[in-house]
A and B are shown apart, each in its own frame.
Chain A
């Protein structure tokens, strides 16, 4: 046997048993969302509804099951869209999960996920979140995270995408469809929501969009990008919370502390420097690096850095830059 053949044979044998998991498509999409500007994810219309998840669905997950489930909340039309993602990969989609580990419901429809969780002995809660990216009725996230252990009877919250109320779309031009311009031309983009951003990392420019009230009533957001980044992506995004939104934001900060986050010094202020999961409520290693603090009574600020940009400048530099940004944000008189 010559060496080329032997090598080919050895390589084939090594990877013969390897199959890409059916969940790969979901994992890729979930990763993608972390790089995308958030319009309204956190808290926007967090209508926590004790939705009755009544439709019993047998979760064998065979291709093409996507049942036309009754639409308890008027979202049924799109509910099945999560299913083809998994079934398209062809290989059997039955997931064996040890009894006390929370199964992965992300990407499934709320009805399907809820029924499966009930069957597994969990109490199901549904939290709806307005999302532009996901088909209404699909689970976009869950707590506790998939694969973590939870005792029988524990509550599992499914974060379910809902359609936004028809938003006034005042987008000008065509280059970035869907990017809101709620606050008009902000010049350098550094003054909004009554605060001024004094420092930004070198080389970033304004992302030429801004959103109002997406993160609760009286919230303002915009982003800065490295030149050439495609529309919809961000390098650094800021959200300013006031009034009602600031109250909810304060609760989130308490939630960070409750999860064990320690405040850091950013200039002369204390802030939480954390990695957050997609919903923005949970600490999560490998999540989006975010600094959040109360700037003044009734004014909360959150600055997040895209995982791409953070990886580019390095984790240590990312934290340093976030602290520097935080130190230089000031209320405009």
Chain B
């Protein structure tokens, strides 16, 4: 690794690390601390291969490592989360002020990790369906169906809430 490589890596971090960290938090539904640990470990992989990948879209590579790391981390956390977030289905959500955002995020966290990753990549990272598919290593059809199902669940929750507060 030459000094120039090192400098370029620092530039890359300065430009992209916050975005990667944000994506990681959203995909794995974890705290910032956990997500940071994961991003560090992903970036360590990037750093290791840096001289080779720096000229070949390192951002896409980094994002792929981060997202896949986040998915597997989220899978491990899932059991615990399901217990934590489980509520009886018809518990009237306190109609004042749980805030639409909180409700949506809670619902987002309840989705299977991969489905959540699709929504994050499509609507937070603004990737196209094809880019999302390439990143997750699945077909465009899978992205479409996962995205539709995820949105449907979030939408149902949102309508429920709007109905309750009306």
A85 within 8 A of B: yes
Partner of B104, one of A10, A29, A32, A89: A10
A28 within 8 A of B: yes
Q: Is the CB of A89 within 8 A of B22?
A: no
> Which B residues are CB-close (under 8 A) to A85?
10
Which of B33-41, B53-61, B79-87, B136-144 forms contacts with chain A? B33-41
A313–B117 Cα gap in the complex (Å)? 27
Partner of A13, one of B11, B20, B25, B101: B101
Q: Is the CB of B36 within 8 A of A21?
A: yes
Chain A: CB-nearest residue to B42: A28
Q: Is the CB of A14 within 8 A of B25?
A: yes
A96 within 8 A of B: no
A residues 1-23 near B (Cβ < 8 Å) are 3-4, 6-15, 18-21
B residues 6-49 near A (Cβ < 8 Å) are 7, 9-11, 13-14, 17-18, 20-22, 25-26, 32, 36, 39-41, 43-44, 47-48
**Residue among B9, B17, B43, B44 with the most chain A CB within 10 A?**
B44
A29–B48 Cα gap in the complex (Å)? 9
Chain A: CB-nearest residue to B32: A18
Which of B88-96, B127-135, B150-158 forms contacts with chain A? B150-158
- Size band of the interface chain B makes with A: 35 or more
Contacts A3-B155, A25-B13, A35-B48; A11 near B120 (Cβ below 8 A)? yes
A72-85 vs B, CB cutoff 8 Å, 1 = contact: the mask equals: 00000000000011
B98-126 vs A, CB cutoff 8 Å, 1 = contact: the mask equals: 00111011001000000000011001100
> Which B residues are CB-close (under 8 A) to A20?
13, 17-18, 20-21, 36, 39
Q: Is the CB of A32 within 8 A of B44?
A: yes
Q: Is the CB of B40 within 8 A of A27?
A: yes
A88 within 8 A of B: yes
Q: Is the CB of B123 within 8 A of A24?
A: no
Q: Is the CB of B44 within 8 A of A88?
A: no
Q: Is the CB of B44 within 8 A of A28?
A: yes
A residues 171-196 near B (Cβ < 8 Å) are none
Contacts A24-B40, A84-B10, A88-B13; A3 near B25 (Cβ below 8 A)? no
Q: Is the CB of A11 within 8 A of B123?
A: yes
Tally the A-B contacts, defined by beta carbons under 8 Å.
Answer: 94
Chain B: CB-nearest residue to A27: B40
A21–B40 Cα gap in the complex (Å)? 11
A6–B162 Cα gap in the complex (Å)? 13
A85–B11 Cα gap in the complex (Å)? 9
Q: Is the CB of B47 within 8 A of A88?
A: no
**Residue among A3, A4, A230 with the most chain B CB within 10 A?**
A3
> Which B residues are CB-close (under 8 A) to A6?
100, 104, 154, 158
> Which A residues are CB-close (under 8 A) to B105?
10-11, 14
> Which A residues are CB-close (under 8 A) to B48?
32, 35, 230, 233
A6–B105 Cα gap in the complex (Å)? 10
A31 within 8 A of B: yes
> Which B residues are CB-close (under 8 A) to A32?
44, 47-48
> Which B residues are CB-close (under 8 A) to A15?
22, 25-26
Chain B: CB-nearest residue to A233: B48
> Which B residues are CB-close (under 8 A) to A88?
7, 10-11, 13-14
A15–B105 Cα gap in the complex (Å)? 11
Distance between A193 CB and nearest chain B CB, rounded to angstroms: 29
Q: Is the CB of B151 within 8 A of A3?
A: yes
Distance between A203 CB and nearest chain B CB, rounded to angstroms: 21
Which 9 residue pairs across A and B have the least CB separation, nearest first?
A20-B17, A15-B22, A10-B101, A88-B10, A10-B104, A3-B155, A20-B18, A31-B44, A28-B43
Task: Kindly list 16 other residue pairs between chains A and B, CB separation below 8 angstroms, not including A4-B151, A24-B17, A35-B44.
Answer: A3-B155, A7-B119, A10-B105, A11-B105, A11-B123, A12-B124, A13-B101, A14-B25, A15-B26, A18-B25, A24-B40, A28-B13, A28-B43, A88-B13, A88-B14, A233-B48
User: What are 20 A-B pairs with beta-carbon distances under 8 A?
Assistant: A3-B158, A6-B158, A7-B151, A10-B102, A11-B108, A14-B105, A18-B22, A19-B18, A20-B21, A24-B17, A24-B43, A25-B10, A25-B13, A28-B47, A31-B41, A84-B7, A88-B14, A89-B10, A90-B14, A230-B48
Interface residues of B (CB under 8 A from A): 7, 9-11, 13-14, 17-18, 20-22, 25-26, 32, 36, 39-41, 43-44, 47-48, 100-102, 104-105, 108, 119-120, 123-124, 151, 154-155, 158
